[in-house]
Structure formats: C-alpha cells, structure tokens
A and B are shown apart, each in its own frame.
Chain A
C-alpha cells in the first residue's frame, strides 16, 4: 500500500509512494503512443482470430477457409511429387543396382533409414542390432535366410512364417520334449553335443551320446557339423551368434520347446520402392553379402 506520495525535488514528478531501501519510484505518465501500440495489437489480434482457425472446435476454419492441416497436406503432396521421379527409378531397379549407383544409393540410404525406423526398429532395434529372444541382428554377418540384396529383399517382401504370402520364408523345428520326441536326458545329451560344436562341452560322455541323437534329429536341417542351411532357414550352430541365448540352459530350453517367431510380409504393406530402399539400407548395415 503506497503511503508516502511526495513530489520529487529534482524532476517535479510525484513518486508512486513505493520505497525500497531508500529507492523511490517516480510516477512518470506513460507516453500515449505506447497505449496506442497496445490498442493496435488488440486490433491486430481481432483480425488474426478471424483469418486463423482460432476457435477450438472441430472443423474450425478461418474466414478464408484456411486450415493448418490442409496446408501440411499440401506440403506433403508437393514433397511427394518432388520425390516421385526418384522413387520410380528406385522401384524399377534391383537393390543391387541401386547400391552401385551413387545418386540412387544416397536416396535409398536416406529413405531406408526412415522406413527402417518406422517399420523395422521395433523388433530389430534402432541400428539393426537385434535382441535376444528371436529378433536377429541385421548388422552382423550371420544370416538365417541369406544376406544378399535379393535374399534380404525377398525376406522383407514376403515375411517369415506369417502366413501372408505364398513365397514366405517358412521352417518349423519340432518341439522335441513337448511332443515327446526326445526324453529329458536325451535333450541334455543333444545340448552337450551342440555346445561341443563351439568347443564348449563340459561332459564328454554326454557329448558322445548326443552325437547320434544330433545326427538323427538335427543334422538334416542344421547340417552335420552345425553349419546351418539357409534353404530351410536353419541357423548355424557352430558360430558365436545365438538367437535365443548362448548358454546351456537357453539351448536346452529351445530344443525342448522352440519358439517360431514371425515377421510380416512387408510387400503387402509398403511400396515396392520402400522395400528396395530398406533392402539397400539393411545390406549396408554391415553384414551384407555379395
């Protein structure tokens, strides 16, 4: 509450009556033009509200019909028509052809990065690093269905075990314990043999017993020495990359009751050009084969 209004000796102006540690404030009148600037701003806002869809109701438009959403749609359309010729070339070429053409490759890598983040990263990780539990790394050199441009493109187009395409990648590993094919001790022996493929067996007798079991039950798909078979999507067992975990418990659990993960057929969801860009991008993550 201002209490001590007084006239300032030097300026002849009254003070506001406020005082802070001896400092007093002059009650200088505001220049009138300043007030007019405020009025001008109010007038401007009145006009602005009419032209801009300012009222928060559904379907609000400015008096000229301008809507922000439509402006964005127009921007997107303009961008798409700008990209159209490049996308047409990418659609017509094979991923291997795109990879060796600098202009196409640059475009495909940029587009592939976005498409990968939108569609693939959820399972395969932001940089294609994969995740234990059946989401393969796309950055390493280990491929279940093949790592050439064409093989990658085929897998993206038709998916894995999704039941969406006639040309899908499909394989089925028996549930050795759940379906009663092997007994628990036999699974232990087979596991020891599989560990032995990477010199990690700790039980020589079990490994010896497992050799026959492996040959009878596993070798047909995974190969005699665990080299795998891409035609049937049987992963290599004699390398250091394990989809569902590398230790004995994880391997035994998988033999007993395997999980068959699926991947959608992206050819039915994405434009052919986008699939080509994805194939080029995934191939370039580091593991691409020629």
Chain B
C-alpha cells in the first residue's frame, strides 16, 4: 500500500528490503518552557483582554425599553433577533452579519500580509485558551523539565494529585467557557441561575456540555494538533504572505555557522535550543518558514534572553521580512562571523514595505465593504411594506364584469412603538381599494396599525369597475403615510386582468 517491492536485482545481494514507513505516527508531546520578555508580555496582555471581553460582554446591560431584552449583545434565536448595543437586526437582515464576517476575513488577510500569522499567534481562541491551560499546567506541575520528569515517572500519589488537580482546573475553565458561550444566546443572569440550579432546558445543557467538552479537549489535549492537522487556515495563509511580511524569522546570516559558545569562528547561534524548548508547537524556527509555526514569537523572547546573557546583540530571531533576511545575507556573504558581520547585516536592512499592491487591495476591500455596510445601516428602513399579490387566482371576474385582484400586505415595524398609518393605493386605472378589517380613511385610503417589533398582515382587495378595462396588466403603488402625511414607504405591484378578447365573454 505504501511502498512497492523493488525488483531484487536492483538491490545488492544480501541487503534486506527497507521496511515500509509506518502508517501511523505517535504524537510527540510538546513541553513548552516558560519564557519572559516583551512578546510574552504582549501575549499575556492579548490573553487578558480577549478573555475579559469574552466573559464580561454578556453581562453588559443596555436599556431598550419595556418588552425588549436589556442585554447589550444577544443572539435571540427563539424570537429571531440579534442585538448588538444600539444595533438590532431581523433575520431577513442577516447580510449585516455576513458583512461583518466578510470584514473579519478581509481584515485577517490584511493583517497576515502585513504581520504574518499574528492572528494565530496572539488572538486565535485556540491559542488563547491553550496558553491559559498551559499556564495552569505549569502552575501545578512545574516547568518543562519537571513536567517531563513527572510524565516519565511512576504513578505516585503526588503525580496522581498533580494530574487530577490540573484536569480539574482545566474542566473548571472549560465549564466557565461553555457557560459564557450560552450567555450570548440567552439572558446572562437568568441562564446562569438556571444552569446552577439545574432548571435550564435540555438544549442549554447540551450546548453547555458541548462547548465545555470541546474547550477541554482542544485546549487541554489537542493543542498544536488543532493548528497542524485540523485548521484550514495554515494551509492557505501562504497565499497572503510574501517576502515583505513581518514574520518570525531566524537571521541565519548572523547565526550560522552555529556551534558551542567557546568555539572560534562560529556565528551568534550557540545551538542552546532555547528557541525549540519554548515553542508551543515543538518546531525549530531555525529550519525556516514552516506550516506548524503559528507566529507567536516566543522564540524571539527566548533567544533575546540568551543573547543578552552571552553579550551579543538581540534579534537573532525576530519579526523580520524575508526580503531583509535576503538583503542582509547577500551583504554579509563573504564576511567572517563576528560583530562586524552583525553590524553590516543590520545596516543594510530596509524599513518593511507596508504599502504594496496586496495591502492596498486588502485595504480597498475593507474600505468598500465597510462603506457598503455603513450605507446599508444608514438607509435601513424601520418600517417596511411587503406586497404579495395572490397567485391563485391571479384575478377574479365579478358578476358585473369588473375584475378584482387580491393582495396580502405585510407591514413590518422594527421599532418598539405602535403606529397608526394610512395605506393608500395609486394607479392610472380607477381602482378601488378595500382593506379587510381596517377602518376607511378617505378615498382609496385605509387606517392600518403596526405592531411593536413585529409584523401585521392585511388583506387588500383591489377592484376595477366594469367598462374601464384598457390593458392586461397595470402598475399600482401602495403607499404608507404617517399621521403628518409624510410618506413612510411605497411599494409597487401590478394589477392583472383577463386578456382583452376574453374580457366580455368571461372565462372559458
């Protein structure tokens, strides 16, 4: 299956065939070492900010008056409403949500083309929660070496205690995560009490358990496997990156040839493996750009630490463009390792080109989508009228030879007050409008009411008296006006009748 038997004569006699490569590979568990430095501090800041947002946002209150939820951010699936502070949309306006997702996607492309995988390394939920879980693990089981020793050692009572404590803490965080997720879909204070007292619905517990379970599994167990094997983003992010993107890079022109500190004539890399031991995905950044690298930059901190200790300039591993690496490498190709080479290589670097066709395109796309969305929001109608003309029958022939069309009118009121409006009909033909269950309000005009945050449905019958037939289809306009006579909304439709020769004789 995975290999073929090569013909015997191609192998020297007496050499056994090579064993086929294994079909399955064990996971190499990663034990990232603790690290400190500016990148680590930035990651902590992002973690605290994002987690605080995630846990606090559902608790923010926002007064929308009576009969409306007072939660600032709420996806109300039961009632089909999405609330985001002053923003409230109906299911038919889901394109606003689509627009936000498009903005998110293009924003991700733009950020990647500028700064590499900073989404993956700093803000992706998988990274944030994995970081948090690793912190808990380190707190209970100790740093890299202690954890490796613990895992290799026998199951003593101390090991059982530490492991149990770790998983209990993970599950606790996971439950808080799953619980907070639910709060975006139900009133936070209510659902918290319900979850704690066991009175929440079955679906609530299902989703609570689902998000608790996935958080525990993905952040506690799967970790870098999610990024390497499950996530599609690393597969195509290379399309957004180019030689001018700031990515986590090893300045090989400065570090190579690597070797022990005391050896003469070697580069700045002393092969201490600090960058490898801190890597959360267990790779060696000195191998160059690779799929597994999430661009978190912890190796930058680790290496800078070592450089400071051995008295060499920082930045052997840094956020650097591939173009600069190539420029520095070209300028220092013939120079021996040493401070002169380091200085020369840094000297020839250029300021990264942030404005490039790629970033201009992403910027333009961001601007265009944003402009469309803001425009759509500003032009959004809070009262809409849908005119649905009857399809069966298309028209009704009356006993006096007149023709009647039926329409269903739906008035959606997206505000939280009721309104009395006047519905009128405008057409070239002398049509007569009757709105069932409505009060007349003048010629061809009827008083209709709207419902707060809801839809009212009206049935309109439009009749053409006999002797006025002039064509088979005519445009009609329904108009809603408010108490001051201002036009609220107009909607066009058509009035249909029999074909002319049929008109007199009735339907066959």
Contacts and interface: CB of A to CB of B under 8 A. Distances in A.
A34 B508 contact: no
A125 B392 CA distance: 8
A71 to B, nearest CB: 14
Interface string B22-35: 11111100000000
Contacts of B326: none
A137 B393 contact: yes
A41 to B, nearest CB: 15
A127 B390 contact: yes
B506 A30 contact: no
A140 to B, nearest CB: 5
Nearest to B506: A246
Nearest to A2: B4
A242 interface: yes
A148 interface: no
A96 to B, nearest CB: 14
B508 A245 contact: yes
A97 B214 CA distance: 57
B459 interface: yes
Interface string A136-169: 0101111000000000000000000000000000
Interface in A201-240: 236, 239-240
A5 B4 contact: yes
B22 A239 contact: no
A142 B4 contact: no
A240 B399 contact: yes
A29 interface: yes
A105 B393 contact: no
Contacts of B459: 284
A44 interface: no
Given A17-B4, A246-B505, A30 B25 contact: yes
Contacts of A141: 398-399
Contact of A240 (B2, B24, B222, B400): B400
Contacts of B437: 102, 105
Most buried by A among B23, B225, B393, B461: B393
A147 B50 CA distance: 68
A240 to B, nearest CB: 4
Interface residues of A, number: 43
Contacts of A28: 25
B2 A27 contact: yes
Given A126-B392, A246-B505, A140 B397 contact: yes
Contacts, number: 102
Contact of A31 (B4, B25, B392): B25
Nearest to B221: A33
Contact of A129 (B396, B399, B466): B396
Nearest to B288: A10
B3 to A, nearest CB: 6
A122 interface: no
Contacts of B461: 286
Nearest to B25: A29
A268 interface: no
Most buried by B among A13, A27, A33, A139: A139
B406 interface: yes
Nearest to A109: B459
B401 interface: yes
A250 B161 CA distance: 97
B507 interface: yes
A72 interface: no
Nearest to A33: B27
Interface in A175-213: 200
Contacts of A17: 4
Contacts of B396: 129, 137, 139-140, 286-287
Contacts of B149: none
A139 B24 contact: no
A13 to B, nearest CB: 8
A16 interface: yes
A31 B225 contact: yes
B391 interface: yes
B21 interface: yes
Contacts of A245: 508
Nearest to A125: B392
Given A140-B398, A284-B459, A240 B25 contact: no
Interface in B469-508: 504-508
Given A17-B4, A132-B507, A284-B459, A239 B24 contact: no
A241 B506 contact: yes
A239 B25 contact: no
A32 B21 CA distance: 14
Nearest to A285: B406
A236 B506 CA distance: 14
A31 to B, nearest CB: 6
B22 A247 contact: no
A3 B10 CA distance: 14
A33 B507 CA distance: 72
Nearest to A240: B401
Contacts of A128: 393
A19 interface: no
A195 B393 CA distance: 26
Nearest to A36: B24
10 contacts: A27-B2, A29-B25, A33-B225, A105-B437, A128-B393, A132-B507, A200-B505, A240-B504, A286-B396, A287-B396
- Give me the 4 closest cross-chain CB pairs, A-B, nearest first: A129-B393, A239-B399, A127-B392, A29-B25
